[in-house]
Structure 1
Amino acid sequence: MDTKQNANGLKDFEVNIKIKLAFLWTSVTLCYLYGDYFELYVPNKTAGLVSRDNLLDNPVKLFMTAFLLAIPAVMVFFSILLEPKINRFLNIFFGLFFTLIMVLIAFTSLTPWKTFYVFLALLESAITILIVIFAWKWPKAV
C-alpha cells in the first residue's frame, strides 16, 4: 500500500480512485435522503402527500423518480465493481447529469422554506463536480 508523509509528520495512505468515487456517490445519496426528509417539515408538504396534490401524482412519475434516485446509490457499487474504462465514463456522465439536475433544482427552490434544499442541492452539485474531476483525472497505468 502506498504511503506518504504530510507536513506534520503523520502517515497518510493513498486512497484508490474507486473508493474515492464510491464515497463521493455515498455522500450524494445521503444528501438526497436528508433533503427529502427535511422537506417533510415544509408547510403543507405532508398534506399534499395525503391528498396526492404533489409532483409525484401518478405511478409513472413515482417510478421515474425512484429510477433516477437509484442511480447514485447504484454508482456506489459500480464505482468499486466496474472496470476502469466504463467506470470512468459512467462517473463522468452521471456526475455531469446530476450536477445539472441539482443546479436546476437549486434555482427552482429559491424560497425561504426551501433554503435547506438549495444548500443541499448546491452541496450535491459540488460533490458531483468532484466526481467528474476525479473520474476525468483517473490515474493511468504505468
Structure 2
Amino acid sequence: MLIYLLGDVLRLFAGSLTPGYIGDEPAKSWMWTVAAILMLVPIAMILTTLLTPAGPLTWITIAVSVGLVLFNLSAMPFKDFFDNMLIVISLGLNGFIVWYVWRMTH
C-alpha cells in the first residue's frame, strides 16, 4: 500500500492526477469506498496473520497476493514511467510473498 501511496503523491507532483477523477472519469462515491477498502488490506492482513492458524493463513495470504496482482495488472499500463515501475515492483513483491509462503508450507 505504501507503493500505491507513493505513486499517488508522485502523480500529484507530476501533474498527472486530476483531483476528483479516477482515470478519465469523475469518481463516484463507491469508487472512493473501494479505494479505502483496498488501502485497508495491509491492516486486515496483519490482523489475519496474528489471529489465523497457519493452514488457512497460507491460502488467505496467497489469495490476497494473487488478487492484488490481478488488480494491478488490470490497471496497466499507466502513462507515466514511474507508475509502471512502481506497479512492476508491487507485482514482484506480491510474487515473492506467494513464493515465500508456498515454500515455507510445502
**TM-score class normalised by the smaller sequence:** 0.7 to 0.9
Offset at residue 43 of structure 1 (A)? 2.2
Greater share of residues in helix: 2
Where has structure 1 moved over 6 Å in runs of 4 or more? none
CA distance in 2, matches of 1:137, 1:118: 28
Equivalent in the alignment of 1:19? none
Matches within 5 A, 1:13-92: 29-43=1-15, 45=17, 48-49=18-19, 52=20, 54-55=21-22, 57-92=27-62
Q: Is the 8 A contact 1:103 1:122 kept in 2?
A: no
Q: Which has the larger radius of gyration?
A: 1
Offset at residue 100 of structure 1 (A)? 1.7
Could you say what secondary structure the match of 1:96 adopts? helix
Which consecutive residues of structure 1, in runs of 5 or more, have no partner in the other structure? 1-28
Offset at residue 98 of structure 1 (A)? 0.7
CA distance in 1, matches of 2:8, 2:44: 18
Number of equivalenced pairs: 103
Letter in 2 for 1:32: Y
Matches within 5 A, 1:84-103: 84-103=54-73
Offset at residue 82 of structure 1 (A)? 2.1
Residue identity (%): 17
Q: Is the 8 A contact 1:99 1:125 kept in 2?
A: yes
Which consecutive residues of structure 2, in runs of 5 or more, have no partner in the other structure? none
CA distance in 2, matches of 1:60, 1:125: 25
Q: Deviations over 1:96-132 (max 9, x none)?
A: 1111222333x331x2xx2111011000000001111
The alignment yields a C-alpha RMSD, in angstroms, of 1.9
Could you say what secondary structure the match of 2:91 adopts? helix
Q: Deviations over 1:55-113 (max 9, x none)?
A: 262211100111122113321332344210121111100111111222333x331x2xx
